[in-house]
């Protein structure tokens, strides 16, 4: 069992707090992804779990044991670095076996485990080469091999794919997911790429400026973002936000859309007060067909025909701009006027503090 | 592109370049050429006043054998090795350790300590002459090669530490972190990961320190008096007194004394490898 538990974890450099009293539980065997913009503290948090950064306050336990003040070598974790950090003067085989050799494992065992790891990652033909003679993807594989050979209970990945080209990244993403299913180990993965987070994670932790914005499964975050930050961060193209006026009547919040039309969202008994709020709707949930629960008029500013889909950048009656993702066969061009249908089930309402007060969940 | 390649400049510049370059080269090497030519000049030439002309005959073999037969230069050279080699090993080994500590560990007063090492280099060593001589005398190490080695190691380690610390700082720190996470002990990180990557630095520093110490004249005369511990630089001076007019032999001695640093350079040359850390990181 190797669950990772963080209790009130804080990291301070002088007067600057980069990780603020953070609580988190990563279950045994879970693939947990820390995602957030650069500078949000996600890498620092990972390095604190690895033992490479000191924990200013709070408690960290791995597999039920307190590891807050334990050195990195005794935590039983393996880490894959963004820069790969391969030992340049050693061959691939030596790189993979180095940790085992240095911690006193017999030669035969080191060789056997190195071979097994190399086989798993298709590194066998490269075992005699030096890192300088490998491509980026191969180096990344060696770095992963160095981690799995130790058979750790917890894997830590620090943006491991960010130095690879797009095609290789997609391939490695699938390989890492496969590896997770095969090894069934706990994996913590840091990335700033929400697509990586969505495709690989069992659980996503969205971080911003040192605190957790939301924790949940990929689809939970997509369908029920807890605040404006998560709503804007998850999903591509970004969710559209409109400043709207809200009036509550009974069980419904009446939203006045740009252009004057009204949209009624069910409050589900939540206490909502009248006033200005932010309406959020994803580009893929705005409909070109005049249907839905409310319509708005929009003029096309720019159309991107991608074949599989069409992205429209449109201007609404009050001048606000939104993005619409439509079918690839849509023929409208810049200058055309569209009627957009909005479905109440796909709309989110955020109060002035950015907290979600209504999440229209399409899955329900 | 600046400077413009000479092949692309005007014709007059090309011709001027081709004429002036060898001239400048010869002019610059003139003192060395003078010593080399004098070292193969027969004694008669000097007596006849032929100081700078073509030697009347080649007397290289006689002169060089005479230096070894009639003077303790062999002994002086041995002394020089006895001073230089332990100093190079001591100073480089110590600075590998201090450089590693200062580059890798983030302890309090790290920078202060580092600046102290650098500050030591700014002290003009002449002002240390009397106290250092006193100290070695009191410690019973005056007039011994060991005393000279000890002083040189102490004095060279400052510069060497500056050099090594900056070199190690330039290595990817992730390598050390990766090894730490793998459970490798700090000593093994130093010996198995950092030291192999420091090879170019060690080679460069060895050549540099070797040349410094081999060519040292000042401390050799301050801390040593007798022939038994005299390095070749100070020894050559003693030759001067022995043969007042035997410039051909002094020159031969000088050429012999100058050879070891040159040999050292060629010996270490193959370790000056650029890009040893290639492939360590995304690069």
Contact A139 B179 (CB under 8 A): no
* Predicted local confidence at residue B51, as pLDDT: 81
Mean pLDDT of chain A: 91
> Does the CB of A94 have a partner CB in chain B at under 8 Å?
no
Average pLDDT of the segment spanning B85-111: 95
User: Could you give the angle at the alpha carbon of A143 between the alpha carbons of A142 and A147, nearest 5°?
Assistant: 110
Mutation target for B interface from A67, A89, A104: give the one with most B CBs within 10 A: A89
Under a CB-based contact definition with an 8 Å cutoff, are residues B83 and B231 in contact? yes
Q: Is the CB of A81 less than 8 angstroms away from the CB of B282?
A: no
Region A197-212: what's the mean pLDDT? 94
Query: Are the Cβ atoms of A88 and B180 closer than 8 angstroms?
Result: no
- Closest residue in B to A72 (Cα) is B181
Give B-chain residues touching A139 at CB under 8 angstroms: 279, 282
Nearest-CA distance from A83 to chain B in Å? 5
pLDDT of residue B279: 64
**Cβ proximity of A288 and A358 under 8 Å:** no
Q: Which helix (H) or strand (E) holds A204?
A: strand A203-208
Q: What is the pLDDT of residue B142?
A: 93
Please answer yes or no on whether A102 and B181 come within 8 Å at the CB atom: no
pLDDT the model gives residue B164: 94
In a domain, B17, yes or no: no
Residue B4, pLDDT > 80, answer no
Average pLDDT over residues B254-271: 89
Please provide the average confidence, as pLDDT, over all residues in chain B.
Answer: 89
- Shortest Cα–Cα distance, A70 to chain B (Å): 12
Min Cα–Cα distance to chain A from B208, Å: 25
When CB atoms are compared, the residue of A51, A82, A88 closest to B277 is A88
Indicate whether B145 belongs to any domain: yes
- Measured between CA atoms, the residue of chain A closest to residue B196 is A89
Q: Return the CATH number at B126.
A: 1.10.3720.10
Domain holding B148, by residue range, is 82-225
The CATH architecture one would assign to domain A4-229 is 3-Layer(aba) Sandwich (3.40)
Do the Cβ atoms of B178 and A136 come within 8 Å?
A: no
pLDDT single digits (tens) A66-81:
999 998 888 989 999 9
* Contact flag A132-B278 (C-beta cutoff 8 Å): yes
Cβ distance B182 to A78 less than 8 Å, yes or no, reads yes
For chain B, say whether A51 makes contact (Cβ under 8 Å). Answer: yes
pTM of the model: 0.84
Decide if pLDDT at A53 tops 70: yes
Among the partner residues A73, A133, A136, nearest to B183 by beta-carbon distance: A73
pLDDT of residue A288: 79
pLDDT at B52: 82
Measure the CA–CA gap between A362 and B54, rounded to whole angstroms.
102
Share of chain B above pLDDT 90, in %: 60
* Bridge partners, residue A34, by sequence: A190, A205
Report how far residue B168's alpha carbon sits from residue B181's, in angstroms, rounded to the nearest whole number: 19
- In this structure, which topology does domain A237-359 adopt according to CATH? OB fold (Dihydrolipoamide Acetyltransferase, E2P) (2.40.50)
In a domain, B114, yes or no: yes
Tell me which chain A residues have a C-beta less than 8 angstroms from the C-beta of B188.
102
Confidence of residue B283 (pLDDT cuts 50, 70, 90): very low
| Beta carbons of A81 and A190 less than 8 angstroms apart | no
Rounded mean pLDDT of A297-308? 92
Three-class HEC string of chain A: CCCEEEEEEEEEECCEEEEEEEEEEECCCCEEEEECCCCCCHHHHHHHHHCCCCCCEEEEEECCEECCCCCHHHCCEEEECCCCCCCCCCCHHHHHHHHHHHCCCCHHHHHHHHHHHHHHCCCHHHCCCCHHHCCHHHHHHHHHHHHHCCCCCEEEEECCCCCCCHHHHHHHHHHHHHHHHHHCCEEEEEECCHHHHHHHCCEEEEEECCEEEEEECHHHHHHCCCEHHHHHHCCCCCCEEEEEEEEEECCEEEEECCCCCEEEEECCCCCCCCEEEEEEECHHHEECCCCCCEEEEEEEEEEEECCCEEEEEEEECCCCEEEEEEECCCCCCCCCEEEEEECHHHEEEECCCCEEEEECCCCC
What's the total number of domains in chain B? 1
Q: Is residue B3 part of a domain?
A: no
ipTM value for the complex: 0.84
Rounded Cα gap, residues B225 and B56, in angstroms: 39
pLDDT of residue B274: 64
Token look-up 């006043």 returns B49
Once rounded to an integer, what is the mean pLDDT over residues A305-314? 92
- The alpha-carbon gap from B97 to the nearest alpha carbon of chain A, in Å, equals 20
Round to whole Å and give the CA distance between B123 and A201: 61
Separation of alpha carbons B211 and A101, rounded Å: 40
CA distance B89 to chain A (A): 23
User: What average pLDDT score do residues B158-177 get?
Assistant: 93
Q: Is residue B277 part of a domain?
A: no
Does any domain span residue B237? no
**Whether the predicted pLDDT of A292 surpasses 80:** no
Looking at the predicted structure, is the pLDDT value of residue B168 above 50?
yes
Burial profile A327-356: b = 16 or more Cβ within 10 angstroms, e = fewer? eeebebeeeeebebbbbbebbbbbbeeeeb
* Number of Cβ atoms within 10 Å of the Cβ of B267: 14
List the strands of the sheet with A275-281, edge to edge: A262-266, A252-256, A240-249, A275-281, A347-350, A356-359
Q: Contact B180/A72, CB-based, under 8 Å?
A: yes
Q: Which residues of B touch A130 (CB under 8 A)?
A: 279
Q: What is the token pair recorded at A104?
A: 């006193």
Pair type for strands A203-208 and A31-35: parallel
Can you tell me the mean pLDDT for A268-275?
83
For the stretch A163-204, pLDDT in tens is 888 888 898 899 899 999 999 999 999 999 999 999 999 999
Q: Evaluate whether residue B54 is within a structural domain.
A: no
User: Roughly what angle, to the nearest 10 degrees, separates helices B73-104 and B145-170?
Assistant: 40
Cis check: omega of the bond before B251, within 30 degrees of 0: no
A157 touches chain B (CB under 8 A): no
Structure tokens at B211: 């040349």
* Chain A residues lying within 8 Å of B177, measured CB to CB: 50, 52, 72, 79, 81, 85
Question: What is the rounded CA–CA span in Å between residue A280 and residue A268?
Answer: 18
Tell me, yes or no, whether B89 lies in a domain: yes
């Amino acid at each position: 069992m190797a669950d990772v538990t963080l209790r009130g974890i804080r990291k301070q450099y002088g007067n600057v707090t980069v990780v603020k009293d953070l609580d988190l539980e990563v279950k045994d065997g879970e693939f947990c992804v820390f995602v957030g913009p650069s500078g949000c503290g996600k890498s620092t948090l990972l390095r604190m779990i690895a033992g490479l950064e000191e924990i200013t306050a709070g408690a960290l336990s791995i597999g039920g044991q307190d590891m807050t003040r334990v050195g990195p070598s005794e935590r039983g974790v393996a880490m894959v670095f963004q820069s790969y950090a391969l030992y340049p003067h050693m061959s691939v085989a030596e790189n993979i076996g180095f940790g085992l050799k240095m911690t006193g494992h017999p030669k035969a065992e080191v060789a056997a485990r190195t071979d097994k790891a190399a086989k798993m990652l298709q590194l066998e033909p490269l075992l005699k080469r030096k890192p300088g003679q490998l491509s980026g993807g191969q180096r990344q594989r060696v770095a992963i091999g160095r981690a799995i050979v130790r058979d750790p209970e917890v894997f830590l990945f620090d943006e491991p794919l960010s130095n690879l080209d797009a095609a290789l990244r997609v391939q490695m993403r699938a390989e890492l997911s496969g590896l997770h299913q095969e090894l069934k180990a706990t994996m913590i993965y840091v990335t700033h790429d929400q697509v990586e987070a969505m495709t690989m994670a069992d659980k996503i932790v969205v971080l911003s400026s040192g605190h957790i914005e939301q924790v949940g499964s990929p689809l939970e975050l997509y369908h029920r973002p807890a605040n404006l930050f998560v709503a804007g961060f998850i999903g591509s193209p970004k969710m559209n936000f409109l400043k709207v006026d809200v009036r509550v009547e009974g069980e419904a919040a009446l939203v006045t859309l740009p252009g004057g039309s009204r949209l009624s969202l069910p409050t589900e008994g939540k206490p909502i007060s009248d006033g200005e709020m932010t309406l959020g709707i994803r580009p893929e949930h705005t409909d070109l067909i005049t249907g839905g629960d409310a319509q708005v008029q929009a003029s096309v500013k720019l159309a991107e025909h991608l074949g599989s889909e069409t992205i429209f950048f449109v201007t609404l009656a009050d001048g606000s701009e939104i993005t619409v993702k439509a079918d690839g066969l849509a023929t409208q061009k810049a200058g055309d006027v569209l009627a957009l249908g909005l479905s109440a089930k796909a709309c989110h309402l955020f109060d002035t503090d950015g907290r979600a007060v209504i999440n229209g969940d399409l899955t329900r | 592109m600046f400077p413009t390649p000479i092949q692309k400049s005007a014709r007059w510049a090309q011709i001027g370049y081709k004429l002036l370059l060898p001239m400048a080269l010869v002019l610059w090497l003139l003192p060395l050429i003078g010593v080399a030519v004098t070292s193969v000049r027969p004694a008669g030439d000097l007596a006849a006043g032929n100081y700078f002309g073509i030697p009347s005959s080649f007397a290289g073999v006689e002169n060089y054998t005479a230096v070894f037969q009639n003077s303790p230069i062999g002994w002086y050279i041995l002394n020089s090795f006895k001073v230089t080699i332990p100093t190079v090993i001591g100073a480089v080994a110590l600075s590998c350790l201090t450089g590693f500590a200062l580059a890798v560990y983030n302890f309090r007063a790290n920078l202060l300590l580092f600046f102290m090492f650098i500050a030591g280099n700014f002290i003009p060593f002449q002002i240390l002459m009397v106290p250092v001589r006193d100290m070695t005398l009191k410690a019973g190490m005056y007039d011994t090669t060991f005393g000279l080695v000890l002083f040189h190691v102490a004095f060279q380690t400052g510069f060497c530490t500056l050099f090594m610390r900056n070199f190690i700082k330039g290595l990817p720190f992730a390598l050390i972190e990766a090894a730490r996470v793998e459970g490798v002990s700090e000593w093994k990180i130093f010996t198995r990961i950092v030291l192999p990557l420091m090879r170019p630095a060690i080679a460069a520093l060895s050549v540099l320190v070797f040349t410094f110490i081999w060519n040292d004249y000042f401390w050799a005369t301050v801390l040593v008096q007798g022939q038994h511990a005299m390095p070749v630089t100070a020894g050559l001076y003693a030759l001067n007194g022995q043969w007042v007019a035997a410039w051909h032999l002094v020159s031969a001695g000088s050429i012999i004394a100058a050879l070891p640093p040159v040999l050292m350079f060629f010996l270490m040359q193959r370790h000056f490898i650029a890009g040893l850390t290639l492939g360590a990181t995304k690069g």
